[in-house]
């Protein structure tokens, strides 16, 4: 199946909208300090909240990264 540019752009905009909704909901539900502790425990960042980069993450899709983040938040 071959998608034209408008279909691809439309799908990208839909995904962006969904990501924004998820982030807004998380912002309301999750307190910051416990979130940073959880992310540090999962090696996403240090205890100060500064991100830790890993070469493996460069190959991860946006969905995979957000999915991992959401599992940590639960």
- Cα(46)–Cα(65) distance, rounded to whole angstroms? 17
Report how far apart, in Å, the C-alpha atoms of 26 and of each of 4, 13, 59, 74 are. Answer: 33, 20, 25, 10
Mean pLDDT computed over 27-49: 80
Look-up: residue for tokens 């993450």? 57
19 neighbors 27 (Cβ within 8 angstroms): no
Q: Is the pLDDT of residue 41 over 70?
A: yes
pLDDT band at 45 (very low <50, low <70, confident <90, very high): confident
Average pLDDT, the chain: 71
pLDDT band at 12 (very low <50, low <70, confident <90, very high): low
């Amino acid at each position: 199946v071959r998608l034209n540019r408008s279909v691809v752009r439309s799908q990208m905009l839909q995904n962006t909208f969904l990501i924004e909704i998820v982030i807004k909901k998380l912002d309301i539900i999750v307190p910051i300090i416990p979130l940073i502790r959880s992310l540090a425990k999962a090696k996403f960042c240090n205890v100060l909240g500064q991100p830790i980069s890993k070469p493996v993450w460069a190959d991860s899709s946006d969905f995979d990264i957000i999915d991992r983040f959401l599992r940590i938040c639960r």
